[in-house]
Structure 1
Amino acid sequence: MNRKPCKTELSRALGLLCLALASGSALAQEAAPAAAAPANEEAVELDAVTVRGFRQSLQYSTEAKRDSTGFTDSIFSEDIGKFPDTNIAESLARIPGIQLNRDVNGEGTNIAIRGLPSSFTKTTINGASVATASIGLDATNQNREVDLNMFPTEFFNQITVYKSPVASLPEGGASGVVDMRNMRPFDISGNHVTYSLQADYNDNSKKASPRGSVIANWNSEDGRFGALVGLTSTRGKLGVEGYETIGWTNPNLTNDQCLGNGDQAGFPSLGQPCNVTGGNGWRIPNTVPGTAIGLTPGETIDAEWLLANNPGLTTAQIGEALIPRLGRPVHMSGDRDRDGFLGSFQWRPNDSMEFRLDTLYTKAHRTNSRVDMNLIGRNGQMIPQNMQLDENNVVTRADFTNAQFFLEHREYIEDVQYWQINPGATFWFGDDQNVKLDVQASTSRSWMFRESPTILVNSPFTTLEYTNSGDTPTWNTPLDLNDPNLGWTWAGGRLNVQNEKRVTETSGFRADLQLGEDRNNIKLGVAWDQNQRRIQGFDNSGAWEDLVCRGLNADGSTPDPRPACNGGGTALLSDAALAGYLRRGPHGFIVVDADRFKNDTNYAFYRDTAPESGGPNTGGATGGFDEETFAAYVEVNGETEVLDRNVRFNVGMRYVQTDQEVAGPVTIGEVRQWQSLTGDYSEWLPSFSAAWDVADNVVLRMSGSRTMTRPNPSSMLPATTFTDMSAQVANQGNPDLTPYISTNFDLGGEWYTGGEGFVGLTLFNKRVEGYTFQGVTTRPFRSLGIPFEDLDPTQQVALNNRGGPDVATVNVQQQVNADAELEIRGWEAIWVQPLSFVLQGLGFMANYTDLDIKTLGKDASALSGNVYGVAPSMWNATTYWENDVASVRLSYTWAEGAAGTGPNQQGIPFAQIYGEDRGQLDLSASYTLKNIRSQPQLTFNVLNLTGEERRSYFAFPNAVNDMYDPGRTVTVGIRGTF
């Protein structure tokens, strides 16, 4: 598919402005963010005071912002191998407009910029594209997100966030571009070896986690060659306490239970006095079963019975009573190990050329023993007595009988690797060297394999007292859920063998020609990039269950009919044998001796022979994409004067052409095969930025641009299925999705108060086209890419009756681009202020961001389900003090809660999942032993000082959806440089 560029009024204006400036203004180069100053620099003059460390990092950031033409923010390392925070994402959270996404263990994983999800952020290393295969504990990486926790902070000395684009930047980030620059040998004068040793202690895992790094830098005496090599290693421990519900549900009452009319022929439809809102995932039995302790078996449970046993309630209220679908305390423990290598080499054979080679490799091994005890709500048959509800029909207290629990013991074993090779060269031409050619190539690959065996067993039926009066529901039951001999059973249980493999690959080349000196020039460039990703799920659960809990024939075949998973017959493990694999757990309920269980049931064989499935248990679909992109740009940079004050400007145009192929498995007529779909599109992306020095210490800025993010790969995968035997309706991915296009305007400025201090305010507006929703398009059958002969005979006949496969059309349900726009308006403010007049070395920094998001256009209502998880407001503040030997820093980051999903959760139309407000307080301190060789610095850090939890709720604040407590982590360490 060819897509012509959208000609908005802004793009026309920018194009005219580009021509005017190119023809009538002096040529100039936009001042790039300042390169990282030598990390071993002894001192920087700041208000006549010698500073380094955090204040030095702030000053470099302030200078880079002041020198830039557009809207950029940078973070610099404090010293060799010392970034201000232990995680790159945590550092970025200190930038205005940045929303940090945290995993369930509290670790920052990726960022979102100015109201758009994290997949709208383009991430690069040294200007080269980054794609990671890791997915985090809560498996949220299903699109184009980049998990920043794969990259050791010790290897980087500068991170720049471009909120307004320039034509020479790679496209793909509609909300912004984050470029991480690794250390290079010429950044550091002389020869040095820097070491760092630390130990973390988390109060949930209650284990120490060592980590260390060493970075060696060498430069030749003539300054022509340099080499930098770094190694890092982390042996982390995971400890998370939490609670999950998988949503909430209400009972599905019969007519007799609802109306008391004796009619049990059917269930009431929506609009009847009971069950008016849907849900209905909890079933109160018609009669008392023998498993209901304390009640008379066979007794009728009708409206009269429910009213008598739940005084004060009506049957309409009982029909809307909300309980967790699976109320479960959850505990996670395991290892979070990571090793990394950086090699960077630079060679200047003469003053007219320079060659460089950057190599980065990281690998991670992660395990997670995840155990939870589930009170069965969904599909369960609990009988309520003495039930009490609040005004929202949330159950606050009840006595339940016929209740049952199940243990879910799931192991995650995951290996991830990432490597990138980034060679490049710069050449200067002419006597004044005002012509510069920069060329760069890159290639990267990331690979992940995760296995997640699951063992699920059920308790006997019981009674319990249920209470929901705090953050999470609780229960009291006479069962000892921590007793392996309680009578746990396979009946209703299950076993899972589920694997996931992900591979991402990128390749690229770019060439940039600069005509003119650094502040006045024309830049021309071309770029070629390729991005590939493949996700595969594998599942052998049925075969493992057949052996362990269902039973096989003597010859190893599966009996027909297939028995239930109840440990009977020839099953390898009966209920009696099951108890031998259970043991008392540390959390008040049993756990499985997982290693012994897997060894005795031949788990490794079923894991290694698992066939490919439609998708992994993390929610991604099996399939992949391959995108090849060509881009060309022209960029003009210059300076002029307005009212005798200097104006710097950057204006440019970038053209990009993308060819893509998406592929995935489809099953038609019981034939499974991989299907490929292709598409292409092109875009023109204009950009303009200007900075006006209206006073000696005041800079005003404005920027206008169009940016893009490519479509969600999951929405493009084939996954073709027919929903009827007439082959008239099909579900399929849409490879013809056009990109998300954002038209942006920014206006702001800063007042620089001296040293690292400044006050800044920015107003911004984004209009995003291309958001998708589930629509229906009518397409010829042949365009679906499915062989006619693979269809069911009935479907073939139906197509022939409609004119044959070359004529017949099909109604295809798929994601389509909406005829609407997403408008994001907001403002961000920042204040960085040294307070040396109060106390030498004292200062603070703070920023605040406020967002207003709405949808406009014909399909505006259809977009509402795509604009979730964005905090309407956020802020962070840091107070710091440091002198030559000591420093203390206290930082607080806060984000307002927001709707995380659309309505109709678990079949309840009004129900949405909301994230709660969350703030986190962190402490960092250090003391340098100046009189000892290498000047070792003792460090002390505390993350999440107040032990804040991450919590979301289902429709109402007292209906928790999930809650995770990552605990607080204390770190002590030592670092120094020889």
Structure 2
Amino acid sequence: MASASVLAQNPPPPSPPEPTPPQPAESAAVTQLDTVSVTGYRQSLQFATDAKRDSTGFTDSIFAEDLGKFPDTNIAESLTRIPGIQLNRDVNGEGLNIAIRGLGSSFTKTLINGASVATASIGLDATNQNREVDLNIFPTEFFNQVTVYKSPQASLPEGGAAGVVDMRSVRPFDMPGTHVTYHLQADYNDVSEKTSPRGSSIFSWTNDEGTFGTLVGVTSSRGKIGVEGFETIGWTNPNLTNAQCGNGGAAGGFPALGERCNVTGGNGWRIPDVVPDNASTRAAGLTPGTPIDAAWLLANNPGLTTDQIGEALIPRLGRPVYMSGDRDRDAVLASMEWRPSDRLHVWVDALYTKAKRTNERIDVNLIGRNGQLIPIDMQLDANNVVTDATFTNAQFFLEYRPYEEDVQYWHVTPGATFWFTDDVKLDVEANMSRSWMFRESPTILINSPFTTVQYANDGGVPTFNSDLDLNDPNLGWSWAGGGRVNVQNEKRVTETSGVRADLQFGEDSRNVRVGVAWDRNARTIRGFDNSPAWEDLVCRGLNPDGSVPDPRPACDGNAGALITNAELASYLLPGPQGFITVDGNRFKNATDYYRYRDEAPESGGPNTGGATGGFTERTLAAYIELNGETEIWNRNLRFNAGMRWASTDQDIAGPVTIGGVRQYQTLTGDYSEWLPSFSAAWDVADKVVLRMSGSRTMTRPNPSSMLPSTVFTDQSAQVASQGNPELTPYLSTNFDLGGEWYTGDEGFVGLTLFNKRVEGYTFQGVTTRPFLDLGIPFEDLTETQRDAINNRGGPGVATVNVNQQVNADAALNIRGWEAIWVQPLSFVFDGLGFMANYTKIDISTEGRDASALSGNVYGVAPSLWNATAYWENDVASLRLSYSWQEGAFGTGPNQQGIPEAQIFGDDRGQLDLSAGYTLANLPSKPQITFNILNITGEERRSNFWYANAVNDLYDPGTTYTIGIRGTF
């Protein structure tokens, strides 16, 4: 008797089984519709095809063909072979997390062995601020099945409005007997120009009686990253004065937004009122002290009007960037299974992974933001993007940021299945996980001398040429003019725990299941900042007794500073990308950095963009589920129907500063939801299955939007900003219709139409609330604020207008279709085949607050596809895969103060190769593997408003991998 329990994650039957492929999570007794007589990649496709055919709802799976042999080196990369999956990549090209069918990655619920997963890692891009789960922390060798549920079941944990991803770790009885699997490989990246070794081993044993088994796996990787890129932090235009515009306005004033020379806003670049006196302006032939007015600008920029000059777009901080560092990870997996009788199955799974990541990031910035570039012979295109110019009075600054990060994660899931009779069984499971991260990211920023720059932008990456050698430590780099140092740390902790019980009455194909679950999910983010103290020592200067001078000097590197401008060059080195870097270890040791790091006080948030604070959610859920079979027109119909109820209460805590006093405030909230689901699959012909599904799913709101962060913006205490703990979940009403035609072996053609109506999206709104509802002690207000509230009736009567995220009175409609075709071509050439999928998505909004939703639905690719051609025989295999995503808006409008400006991601495709050859006559049958990732060296690019205004661009390079694996 096989178990259909999702909670138990498909434990094998109680009697000792023959070796079988891993079973899909939706049905542990997949009917063998086609004989599995292939191995390797084709076998993993065969498992996935059989699992899909026997499923009731809309699910897709990726299988490992053998112990420790997942088809890809990254789980997120594997999931791109499933229709409707959008892969989000880190800046080094590594797959990080996934999104499903038009909703962001925070709408995907991730499980390991049926239990919730939460990770503290944030990636190089530092984008994990919501409920995303970074998949790159999990070794692929430890998993043999990943299932994506696009239609829910009542027995599945709630929380994934888009879908649920369940990763099943390997267990002893997946391959009965005694086995040792080993895997060694080396990666070479052509940007880092370094080799990264990686190795793993899995030992699995079951006794002869088939009653007990253990498995232990270890894996270790020593990765190297190398990323070249270009960043702008947005684009900006000049803030011309009335005199420079020539509009006849008041001297010294500025045109209002919408008027001449300031039509689009922005205004981050300030052309000086007079020519400054420095070496760059004199070398450019300008006369210091000359007024820069409209006549001057027109004379020195022939062919342009002052209206055009006022709209001229340049990067705010155009900067070549280079990253290099380590990506080390060690992990251990342990699993035990016990089957003392045919009525009991007990298991314990445990996973621990630890990552050490460093990133020596350097960039050199042409200062546009708050700079004072003087344009000469400037040329613009039709969109006012500067294509060519000479900029004098220009200056660069170096930004040196050596990130260092430690991440740990552990996860334990004990469970058991009890068969009381052949038709009554109980599944119970508990889980506990904890993940924590510490990142330190100091910054050292120094300025170059003024210079004249030849600027050009041909639509690729802007280039800057000057007579300065930016790779010369003795150029004259200085603290003066905006230099700084920062000591900034971040600590994160995530925790999950839970227990579940599922009681099934009936056989696996016809049954009633009832269950209860209790889960706890918590996260804390804390930022720390000791920058002022370190800066006082390094570049400002302290009194002999260590106190801070009054008045506090600027960070200018003058006498008294620990590292003066004259001494600065001794801490600089030529860099790898044509501009200097910092001798980081020497600088830290000389400036007592580690003491300042360790003594850093808590701040409002880390420099990654998160906010200091945390949440704890406790959820009680119960469900009833009916599984059955019947016949319509002599054809089998399988169905699954259920209802899940989930009630959540939460505590949201964070620091607030009221009346100059910083303290932690805790806000509470609760909500409950009923989540019905129904799925049916009808075998309308021998090789054709039609499916339909209707359901309601949910995702809990963004914790960062619920943090207190209470701030009064006026002395009358009438207006405040605050997190909103009363945010309700995103609710999605879903309908899916589709089917598949199974062509034989691993082959099938499938088409699915889907529709989601999502309600509960949030936007920045204003609510009027009684003062007492804010949770702030009245005595903590300033005297002026207390008097103002008393004048409005006192704290029990006075109301406050609170700016906070609120649920929109609107709906988001996501409609689309997805197609997949898996086809063996053995009739052409034995072992040949292909797999391809395509997804098209359309998003619209409706309702009173429809326009407010626009800022919440970005980053969704309107279309994406993936194709793989494969060939293999008994000893050799070859795969060529290409994945492509259409570009999409990444942000809302009003970027950098320009109302119409948005950031748009470019289309991106990636071509990968995987090959292997098995030495079948040697012990363990070792397989030699060779992979190439990103064969064509595709970059990741986004643009600011226009296609020739790059926002950021990263080149992760091409990675070559050679390895060997085998099993004894």
What is the TM-score when the length of structure 1 is the normalising length?
Answer: 0.96
**Pairing partner for 2:208 from 221, 224, 230:** 221
User: Aligned with 1:606: secondary structure?
Assistant: helix
- How far residue 271 of structure 1 moved from its aligned partner, in angstroms, is 2.4
Corresponding position: 1:257 with 2:244: yes
Corresponding position: 1:386 with 2:381: no
Amino acid corresponding to residue 579 of structure 1 in structure 2: A
Matches within 5 A, 1:252-331: 252-259=239-246, 261=248, 263-291=250-278, 292-293=281-282, 294=284, 295-331=286-322
**Pairing partner for 2:336 from 345, 349, 363:** 345
**Which has the larger displacement, 552-561 or 653-662?**
552-561
Corresponding position: 1:160 with 2:147: yes
Matches within 5 A, 1:423-822: 423-430=414-421, 433-491=422-480, 492-822=482-812
- CA displacement, residues 464-492 of structure 1 (integer Å, 9 cap, x when unaligned): 10000141100110001111111100011
Amino acid corresponding to residue 417 of structure 1 in structure 2: Q
- Distance in 1, matches of 2:940 and 2:560, equals 46
- CA displacement, residues 339-368 of structure 1 (integer Å, 9 cap, x when unaligned): 000000000111100110000000000000
- Distance in 2, matches of 1:30 and 1:285, equals 68
**Pairing partner for 1:922 from 909, 912, 915:** 912
The equivalent residue for 1:11 is: none
- Distance in 1, matches of 2:33 and 2:384, equals 62
- How far residue 48 of structure 1 moved from its aligned partner, in angstroms, is 7.9
**Pairing partner for 1:832 from 802, 817, 822:** 822
- Distance in 2, matches of 1:281 and 1:496, equals 24
User: Aligned with 2:851: secondary structure?
Assistant: helix
Contact 2:152–2:697 under 8 Å retained in 1: yes
The equivalent residue for 1:411 is: 402
- Distance in 2, matches of 1:40 and 1:539, equals 55
Residues 65/845 of structure 1: CA separation in 2 closer, same or farther (3 Å cut): same
Amino acid corresponding to residue 81 of structure 1 in structure 2: G
Residues 39/559 of structure 1: CA separation in 2 closer, same or farther (3 Å cut): farther
Residues 39/816 of structure 1: CA separation in 2 closer, same or farther (3 Å cut): farther
User: Aligned with 2:298: secondary structure?
Assistant: helix
User: Aligned with 1:577: secondary structure?
Assistant: helix
Amino acid corresponding to residue 269 of structure 1 in structure 2: A
Corresponding position: 1:959 with 2:936: no
- CA displacement, residues 92-112 of structure 1 (integer Å, 9 cap, x when unaligned): 111000000000000001000
Residues 272/41 of structure 1: CA separation in 2 closer, same or farther (3 Å cut): closer
Runs of 4+ in 1 over 3 A off after TM superposition: 28-42, 44-50, 260-263
- Distance in 1, matches of 2:9 and 2:658, equals 54
Amino acid corresponding to residue 924 of structure 2 in structure 1: S
- Distance in 1, matches of 2:513 and 2:21, equals 32
Percent identity of paired positions between Structure 1 and Structure 2:
76
Residues 34/663 of structure 1: CA separation in 2 closer, same or farther (3 Å cut): closer
Corresponding position: 1:101 with 2:88: yes
User: Aligned with 2:433: secondary structure?
Assistant: strand
Contact 1:415–1:450 under 8 Å retained in 2: yes
What is the TM-score when the length of structure 2 is the normalising length?
Answer: 0.97
Corresponding position: 1:66 with 2:49: no
Amino acid corresponding to residue 435 of structure 2 in structure 1: S
- Distance in 2, matches of 1:52 and 1:40, equals 13
The equivalent residue for 1:946 is: 936
Contact 1:197–1:973 under 8 Å retained in 2: yes
User: Aligned with 2:656: secondary structure?
Assistant: strand
- Distance in 1, matches of 2:325 and 2:816, equals 41
The equivalent residue for 1:892 is: 882
Contact 2:6–2:155 under 8 Å retained in 1: no
Amino acid corresponding to residue 862 of structure 1 in structure 2: A
- Distance in 1, matches of 2:468 and 2:617, equals 56
Contact 1:34–1:63 under 8 Å retained in 2: no
- How far residue 818 of structure 1 moved from its aligned partner, in angstroms, is 0.3
Residues 30/150 of structure 1: CA separation in 2 closer, same or farther (3 Å cut): closer
Residues 29/747 of structure 1: CA separation in 2 closer, same or farther (3 Å cut): farther
Contact 2:362–2:401 under 8 Å retained in 1: yes
- CA displacement, residues 604-651 of structure 1 (integer Å, 9 cap, x when unaligned): 000000000000000000000000000000000000111111100000
- How far residue 566 of structure 1 moved from its aligned partner, in angstroms, is 0.4
- Distance in 1, matches of 2:266 and 2:34, equals 65
User: Aligned with 2:750: secondary structure?
Assistant: strand
- CA displacement, residues 429-465 of structure 1 (integer Å, 9 cap, x when unaligned): 12xx110100000000000000001000000000010
- CA displacement, residues 819-871 of structure 1 (integer Å, 9 cap, x when unaligned): 00000000000000000000000000000000000111010001111010000
- Distance in 2, matches of 1:251 and 1:149, equals 43
Corresponding position: 1:79 with 2:69: no
User: Aligned with 1:579: secondary structure?
Assistant: helix
User: Aligned with 1:905: secondary structure?
Assistant: coil
Contact 1:552–1:559 under 8 Å retained in 2: yes
- Distance in 2, matches of 1:346 and 1:147, equals 28
- CA displacement, residues 916-972 of structure 1 (integer Å, 9 cap, x when unaligned): 000000000000000000100000000001100000000000000000000000000
Contact 1:719–1:731 under 8 Å retained in 2: yes
Number of residue equivalences: 948
- In angstroms, what is the RMSD of aligned CA positions? 1.6
User: Aligned with 2:567: secondary structure?
Assistant: helix
User: Aligned with 1:489: secondary structure?
Assistant: coil
Tell me, which stretches of 5 or more residues in structure 1 are unaligned?
A: 1-27
Contact 1:39–1:80 under 8 Å retained in 2: no
User: Aligned with 2:479: secondary structure?
Assistant: strand
- How far residue 140 of structure 1 moved from its aligned partner, in angstroms, is 0.5
- Distance in 2, matches of 1:951 and 1:586, equals 22
- CA displacement, residues 642-672 of structure 1 (integer Å, 9 cap, x when unaligned): 1111100000000000000000000011100
User: Aligned with 1:119: secondary structure?
Assistant: helix
- CA displacement, residues 365-422 of structure 1 (integer Å, 9 cap, x when unaligned): 0000000000000000000000000000000000010000000000100000000110
- How far residue 275 of structure 1 moved from its aligned partner, in angstroms, is 1.2
The equivalent residue for 1:399 is: 390
Corresponding position: 1:362 with 2:353: yes
- How far residue 82 of structure 1 moved from its aligned partner, in angstroms, is 0.9
- Distance in 2, matches of 1:330 and 1:977, equals 43
- Distance in 1, matches of 2:181 and 2:632, equals 48
- CA displacement, residues 864-895 of structure 1 (integer Å, 9 cap, x when unaligned): 11010000000000000000000000000000
- Distance in 1, matches of 2:427 and 2:562, equals 66
User: Aligned with 1:402: secondary structure?
Assistant: strand
- How far residue 49 of structure 1 moved from its aligned partner, in angstroms, is 8.6
Contact 2:199–2:219 under 8 Å retained in 1: yes
Residues 38/601 of structure 1: CA separation in 2 closer, same or farther (3 Å cut): farther
Residues 859/537 of structure 1: CA separation in 2 closer, same or farther (3 Å cut): same
Contact 1:383–1:401 under 8 Å retained in 2: yes
User: Aligned with 1:93: secondary structure?
Assistant: helix
- Distance in 1, matches of 2:5 and 2:520, equals 29
- Distance in 1, matches of 2:21 and 2:739, equals 30
